[in-house]
Amino acid sequence: MAVVYLSLGSNEGDRQVTIQKALVGIEAACGRIAAQSSIYETAAWGLEEQPNFLNMAVKIETTLTPIALLDALQQIEAELHRQRVVRWGQRTIDIDIILYDSELIEMPRLQVPHPRARLRRFVLVPMAEIAPEMIFPGTNESIAEMLEHCPDNLAVHKIA
């Protein structure tokens, strides 16, 4: 059984309902949700002229391989009407694999740990809520330490 951390985000439509539907889909198709963070509202990162996001982190236990998990998550995104039009653009749902056990994965379709997680407060703040002491693979830093050194200055506000 692999322990995996995911980041969920939504800034289109009824964001909270979409995140709840994604959680149901994750539990049905990917594995048991062992922990989940609060929901946070954040300004958009990268392409800033768009609505704010709701973000959260979840810890799941899965028997799926990394690629099978990616495929299942992308299917959930498709079912929730995710469209990939503009990089970092507006979306109904975004589900990223942040950590898969302590593995370092370099594949054309998948890089784990997520290559930009350490640069994004909207990923690190929810992750620090559920796994502050987790050592980020390939580093000597915990999630909490990464958050302390994160160069991102966008506000992340807990809403639920």
Residue 71 designated active-site: no
Which residue in 14, 15, 32, 82 is the catalytic one?
82
CA pair distance 102, 143, nearest whole angstrom: 13
CA pair distance 83, 87, nearest whole angstrom: 10
Which residue in 71, 84, 94, 120 is the catalytic one?
94
Residue 15 designated active-site: no
CA pair distance 65, 56, nearest whole angstrom: 23
Within the chain, where are the H helices?
15-29, 66-79, 121-130, 143-149
Which residue in 91, 118, 120, 121 is the catalytic one?
91
CA pair distance 120, 152, nearest whole angstrom: 6
Q: How far apart are the first and last CA of the chain?
A: 29
Which residue in 15, 96, 120, 152 is the catalytic one?
96
Pairing of strands 32-36, 105-106: unpaired
Residue 14 designated active-site: no
Among residues 27, 38, 5, 36, which one has the least CA distance to residue 117?
Answer: 5
Q: Which residues are catalytic?
A: 82, 91, 94, 96
